[in-house]
Amino acid sequence: MAVERIFKDEASEEKGERARLASFVGAMAIADLVKTTLGPKGMDKILQSTGRGHAVTVTNDGATILKSLHIDNAAAKVLVDISKVQDDEVGDGTTSVVVLAGELLREAEKLVASKIHPMTIISGYRMAAECARNALLQKVVDNKADSEKFKSDLMKIAMTTLSSKILYQDKEHFAQLAVDAVMRLKGSTNLEAIQIIKKPGGSLKDSFLDEGFILDKKIGLGQPKRIENAKILVANTAMDTDKVKIYGARVRVDSMSKVAEIEGAEKEKMREKVQKIIAHGINCFVNRQLIYNFPEEIFADAGILAIEHADFDGIERLALVTGGEIASTFDNPESVKLGHCNLIEEIMIGEDKLIHFSGVELGQACTIVLRGASHHVLDEAERSLHDALCVLSQTVNDSRVLLGGGWPEMIMAKEVDELARKTPGKKSHAIEAFSRALSAIPTIIADNAGLDSAELIAKLRAEHHKEGCTAGIDVISGAVGDMAERGISESFKVKQAVLLSATEAAEMILRVDEIITCAPRKREDRM
């Protein structure tokens, strides 16, 4: 009996078959959840939070959906993780990676059931993944040398990425925006320089790209509305100490006039601070914290534009874009790095006034202003655009391009099948299974579009036996179509990340043979 009690009460463990089953089931459930969002005809999910305000998110971005789920199953968590990594690393393909891992596990489950050891399956998968990657490498197109072709590649990739998102209807417009924004970055993958502002009103078509930087603030009263050749001091400092605050301070005085003296002293301190700031020779002061009326008044008299409460991302980005640094002490003006831009003016978007900085130091900076019917639409539009921007900035660095529409998966599946025929032993079953999992992706794309997937995939497989075939699933006409003609392209980097991450995740879940769940901590009675 003593042997039984290794774990505390209530800690549970599952061994062998049961553990593996639990992890397979969890992982497949997650894959099935996001499966329907794959492809140009993928559906959206509504996520409703139980927190305050019952926030509603409408999205079909795999990473966003999975991030918002609270999951108890360990294997499912592994899949959520790979979608997050995919999102951070290449920005798109978050759904594909989960679906592929799920399919690999579904195939593995059948193999395990027919008494093939998980390690055999894993080594088969390893070989298959390597083979699939090589198959892609042979087929990549790289047009970096020819800038015209490369730009049209970027446009195609952007349009393909946006096809499966809400921006699908105006994808040409948004692809153009995204390509222009990324081309300005000149090869850096720092998306900080591209700012996205969301303003409800208008329709998605009214969105536009603006060079320079737009800060979502109004210009204060009695201040210059337009400044040319601006020298900007970006600061994070308290400018609200010219009045005695009621809370927090305890001052014992014996008459009202003493209070007035204290106020006077505070005011003087404030005035000195403002004089110090003005001594930097600036004509625009941007602060992250509040600016009270008194310092604002002094700034206005000196002809300096003071902007308060510049939002947090905004101010770091503003410093980056104008080439300044955020200052918090003003004693030695020579050590502070000021930002510069040619013109600061107030513009109207919809019914809001915003401040526009044009001709900024960092030439690649730009702002995309999104317009749309409601906040939900705008949030989803922003997520879609972010995906497109990530993919494009990655493609500018690694300019290898593949066709899309299930074409890469079929190419890989074909090569992997070849490999399975040559491989002796039980591994060949695993390699064959890998090929089936790969061709599940075009199957799902077709299913989501309400097409007859079995027939289409059979046709597609036949097409792919010809040399140099460019056939994929054309969801619009509902048949097998020529992807090169339709201009459906994807970035090689995204495909490679999907393939490798999914294989690694499936492998990790396959290795599990025991799940130990710890006992929950008890609450003590606090009496």
Catalytic entry in 57, 59, 64, 95: 95
**Bridge partner list, 480:** 473
**Bridge partner list, 210:** 367
Query: What secondary structure letter does DSSP report for 373?
Result: S
Q: Quick one: tokens of 256?
A: 């009202």
Distance CA 274, CA 268 (A): 10
Contact partners, residue 372, CB within 8 Å, separation at least 6? 198, 200, 202, 203, 204, 207, 378, 381
Distances (CA, A) of 367 to 28, 139, 252, 303: 40, 36, 52, 27
Does 94 participate in catalysis according to the annotation? yes
Q: DSSP per residue over 323-366, as a string?
A: T--EE---S-GGGSPPEEEEEEEEEEETTEEEEEEEEESSTT-E
Does 367 participate in catalysis according to the annotation? no
Residue type (1 letter), 90: V
CB distance 215 to 310 below 8 Å: yes
Distance CA 477, CA 432 (A): 31
Q: Quick one: tokens of 492?
A: 């090689």
- Of the candidates 117, 207, 172, 206, the one whose C-alpha atom is nearest the C-alpha of residue 427 is 117
- Of the candidates 97, 84, 75, the one whose C-alpha atom is nearest the C-alpha of residue 22 is 75
For residue 14, give the 3-state DSSP assignment. strand
Distance CA 473, CA 63 (A): 24
Residue recorded with tokens 């999205």: 59
Distance CA 167, CA 204 (A): 8
CB distance 132 to 79 below 8 Å: no
Contact partners, residue 237, CB within 8 Å, separation at least 6? 287, 289, 327, 328, 329, 330
Distance CA 113, CA 108 (A): 8
Distance CA 363, CA 86 (A): 29
Distance CA 38, CA 31 (A): 11
Distance CA 404, CA 526 (A): 61
State the Cα torsion 381-384-390-391 to the nearest 10°: -140
Catalytic entry in 37, 59, 64, 94: 94
Residue type (1 letter), 303: G
Catalytic entry in 242, 387, 447, 474: 387
Judged on CB neighbours under 10 Å (0-12, 13-18, 19+), 473 is buried
- Sign of the C-alpha dihedral computed for residues 46, 48, 53 and 55 taken in this order: negative
Q: DSSP per residue over 419-430, as a string?
A: HHHH--STHHHH
Active centre residues (catalytic): 61, 94-95, 387
